[in-house]
C-alpha cells in the first residue's frame, strides 16, 4: 500500500544495459523502490553519476583500485556512500538484512556468487544474469529453495513464459505440453553461412531489435544466447529437453509461448523493451508503469515465424544444437559450455579468433572436458576455471 516503506533494491551490474533500464523503472516509482546498493566492474565515472542520482547506501566495484577511486570521488562530492570491492562486496550487498530485492544484471559467471548469496538469504531475486543459472544449475535452485527466495525471470523470453503459465507451479507439469522460445535470429539470420568466417565484432554486435551489452549481442548472433535460454528455461520451469522448442520470429513481438495439453497456445507480446520484464519482476504479482510504449496493432506490419534451419542451412547456427547435448549429459556440462562460450566470445571480441570459431571452441571444450559432478559453489567455480583454461588452450591452438 502507499503507507508501506519503499522496498530496498540492490542493482548488480548497474552501469550495463539491464542496470540502466532497471534504474529507469525504479526512478519512475520513488515511493515504492529505493536503491540500497549499486555495483559495476570498472566504470567509476558512471558510478559516481549514479551515486549522485540515487544516493545508495553501498556501491561495489570489481577491484579495490576502482573502489578507492570511487571512494575518493564520492568524498569530494560530499556523498556518504560506503564503497566496497570484489566478490565479498557483491555478496555483502546481496544478502544484507535490509535488502528486499536484488537485480542480478552482471554479465557472465562472475554473477554466480552474489546470486547464490541472495538466494540463501531469501531475497526476491530478479534474474537477468542467465549465465549464473546455467553455471549454478541444481546447486542454484537448491539455494533458492533452502533460502526461501523468490526467483523471478527478467530475460524477456522467460518473463513471457512466466506470464503465460498458470499461477500455481504445481500445475505446470500436468497442464503444459511444451514451451516455445522465440528467437530473433540476430543479425545473420539470412546470411550465407560461408560469409560468417569474416564477420567483425561490430557486425556481430549490431542486433536488429534489441540494444544490449556486447557479450549477449554476440551470443544472439551465434544463437548461443538461445542455447543458454533453453537451459535457463529447463531450470526455471522444470521442463525436460524434449518439451522445449525454438522458433525464429524476426520482429521480436511475441516474446515466447506456452503450449498446453489441449493444443491451446498462450503467448506474451509487446514492443522489444526490457523495462517491461524488469517492471514485472519488480512489482510481481502486481503491475506497475514501465515506461515502455505498448504495441500499436494498427501500425504493426507483419509477424512472421520460421524454423531455425528454414533456409536449409543447419550449419548457420551450430551452437544451438549443443544445448540438447549438454542437457542430456552429466550435471555440470552446462557450466562447461558456458565457460567455453565466455572465453570464445571474449576472444572473438579481441579479434583473436573468427566468429565461426566460437562454435569450434565450445564444441571442443565440451568434448575434451573431464570432471566430476559439482556439488557446491566451490566445485562450480573450480569447474568454471578448469573449463576456461581448456577453452583458452583451444583458442591459442586456433591462433597458432
- 149 or 160: CB nearest ligand NAD: 160
Question: In whole angstroms, what is the distance from residue 84 CA to residue 68 CA?
Answer: 9
According to the binding rule CB under 6 A, does residue 51 interact with ligand NAD? no
- 155 or 356: CB nearest ligand NAD: 155
Instruction: Single out the segment in contact with ligand NAD by CB under 6 A; choices: 94-102, 207-215, 241-249, 373-381.
Output: 207-215
Distance in Å, CB of 159 to Mg ion, minimum:
9
State yes or no: 252 annotated in a binding site: no
Q: Which of 74, 128, 276, 340 binds ligand NAD (CB under 6 A)?
A: 128
State yes or no: 16 annotated in a binding site: yes
Q: Where are the alpha helices (DSSP H) in the chain?
A: 17-27, 44-54, 64-76, 86-95, 112-120, 130-147, 156-164, 172-175, 201-205, 214-222, 224-237, 275-283, 322-328, 333-349, 357-368, 377-399
According to the binding rule CB under 6 A, does residue 248 interact with ligand NAD? no
Question: In whole angstroms, what is the distance from residue 55 CA to residue 34 CA?
Answer: 9
Distance in Å, CB of 63 to ligand NAD, minimum:
9
According to the binding rule CB under 6 A, does residue 105 interact with ligand NAD? yes
Binding partner selected for residue 81 from ligand NAD, Mg ion, none, CB under the kind-specific 5 to 8 Å limit: none
- 105 or 364: CB nearest ligand NAD: 105
According to the binding rule CB under 6 A, does residue 212 interact with ligand NAD? yes
> 125 - beta bridge partners?
102, 151
According to the binding rule CB under 6 A, does residue 16 interact with ligand NAD? yes
Question: In whole angstroms, what is the distance from residue 118 CA to residue 217 CA?
Answer: 27
Rg value, the chain, Cα: 21
State yes or no: 306 annotated in a binding site: no
> 260 - beta bridge partners?
176
- 130 or 388: CB nearest ligand NAD: 130
Taking each helix axis as running N to C, give the angle between helix 224-237 and helix 156-164, from 0 to 180 degrees, rounded to the nearest 10. Answer: 30
Binding partner selected for residue 282 from ligand NAD, Mg ion, none, CB under the kind-specific 5 to 8 Å limit: none
Binding partner selected for residue 112 from ligand NAD, Mg ion, none, CB under the kind-specific 5 to 8 Å limit: none
Cβ neighbors of 336 (< 8 A, separation 6 or more) are 326, 365, 366, 369, 371, 383, 387
Distance in Å, CB of 274 to Mg ion, minimum:
9
Distance in Å, CB of 171 to ligand NAD, minimum:
27
Question: In whole angstroms, what is the distance from residue 264 CA to residue 267 CA?
Answer: 10
State yes or no: 213 annotated in a binding site: yes
Query: Buried b vs exposed e over 336-371: b needs ≥16 C-beta within 10 Å?
Result: bbbbbbbbbbbbbbeeebebbbbbbbbbbbbeebeb
Cβ neighbors of 54 (< 8 A, separation 6 or more) are 23, 26, 27, 35, 38
Q: How many CA atoms lie within 13 A of 398 on its CB side?
A: 23
Burial class (CB in 10 A: 0-12, 13-18, 19+), 378: exposed
- 63 or 264: CB nearest ligand NAD: 63
Q: Kindly identify the residues of this chain, within the stretch 149-208, that bind Mg ion according to CB under 5 A.
A: 155-157
Distance in Å, CB of 150 to ligand NAD, minimum:
18
- 15 or 182: CB nearest ligand NAD: 15
According to the binding rule CB under 6 A, does residue 40 interact with ligand NAD? yes
According to the binding rule CB under 6 A, does residue 19 interact with ligand NAD? yes
List the one residue out of 177, 173, 121 whose CA is nearest residue 150: 121
State yes or no: 155 annotated in a binding site: yes
Task: Extract the annotated binding site.
Answer: 15-18, 41, 129-131, 155-157, 184, 207, 213, 220, 225-226, 229
Residues binding ligand NAD (CB under 6 A): 13-19, 40-41, 43, 62, 105-107, 110, 128-131, 155, 210, 212-213, 216, 274
Amino acid at each position: 500500500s502507499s503507507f508501506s516503506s519503499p522496498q530496498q533494491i540492490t542493482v548488480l551490474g548497474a552501469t550495463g544495459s539491464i542496470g540502466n533500464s532497471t534504474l529507469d523503472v525504479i526512478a519512475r516509482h520513488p515511493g515504492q523502490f529505493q536503491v540500497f546498493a549499486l555495483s559495476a566492474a570498472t566504470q567509476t565515472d558512471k558510478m559516481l553519476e549514479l551515486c549522485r542520482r540515487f544516493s545508495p547506501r553501498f556501491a561495489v566495484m570489481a577491484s579495490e583500485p576502482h573502489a578507492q577511486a570511487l571512494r575518493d570521488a564520492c568524498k569530494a562530492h560530499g556523498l556518504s556512500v560506503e564503497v566496497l570491492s570484489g566478490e565479498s562486496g557483491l555478496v555483502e550487498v546481496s544478502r544484507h538484512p535490509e535488502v528486499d530485492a536484488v537485480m542480478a544484471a552482471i554479465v557472465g559467471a562472475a554473477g554466480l556468487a552474489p546470486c547464490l548469496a541472495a538466494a540463501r538469504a531469501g531475497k526476491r531475486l530478479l534474474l537477468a544474469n542467465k549465465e549464473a543459472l546455467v553455471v549454478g544449475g541444481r546447486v542454484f535452485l537448491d539455494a533458492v529453495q533452502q533460502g526461501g527466495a523468490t526467483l523471478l525471470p527478467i530475460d524477456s523470453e522467460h518473463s513471457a513464459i512466466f506470464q503465460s503459465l498458470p499461477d500455481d507451479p504445481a500445475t505446470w507439469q500436468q497442464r503444459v505440453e511444451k514451451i516455445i522460445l522465440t528467437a530473433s535470429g540476430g543479425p545473420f539470420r539470412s546470411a550465407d553461412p560461408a560469409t560468417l568466417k569474416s564477420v567483425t565484432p561490430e557486425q556481430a554486435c549490431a542486433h536488429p531489435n534489441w540494444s544490449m551489452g556486447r557479450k549477449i549481442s554476440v551470443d544472439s548472433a551465434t544463437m548461443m544466447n538461445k542455447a543458454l535460454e533453453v537451459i535457463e528455461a529447463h531450470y526455471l520451469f522444470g521442463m525436460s529437453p524434449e518439451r522445449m522448442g525454438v522458433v525464429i520470429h524476426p520482429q521480436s513481438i511475441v516474446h515466447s509461448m506456452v503450449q498446453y495439453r489441449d493444443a491451446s497456445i498462450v503467448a506474451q507480446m509487446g514492443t522489444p523493451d526490457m523495462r517491461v520484464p524488469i517492471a514485472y519482476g519488480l512489482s510481481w504479482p502486481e503491475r506497475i508503469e514501465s515506461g515502455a510504449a505498448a504495441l500499436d496493432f494498427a501500425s504493426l506490419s507483419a509477424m512472421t515465424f520460421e524454423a531455425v534451419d528454414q533456409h536449409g542451412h543447419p550449419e548457420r547456427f551450430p551452437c544451438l544444437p549443443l544445448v540438447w547435448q549438454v542437457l542430456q549429459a552429466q550435471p555440470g556440462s552446462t557450466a562447461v559450455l558456458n565457460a567455453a562460450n565466455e572465453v570464445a566470445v571474449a576472444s572473438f571480441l579481441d579479434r583473436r579468433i573468427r566468429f565461426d570459431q566460437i562454435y569450434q571452441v565450445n564444441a571442443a571444450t565440451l568434448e575434451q572436458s573431464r570432471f566430476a559432478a559439482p556439488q557446491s559453489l566451490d566445485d562450480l567455480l573450480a569447474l568454471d576455471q578448469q573449463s576456461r583454461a581448456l577453452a583458452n588452450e583451444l583458442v591459442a591452438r586456433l591462433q597458432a
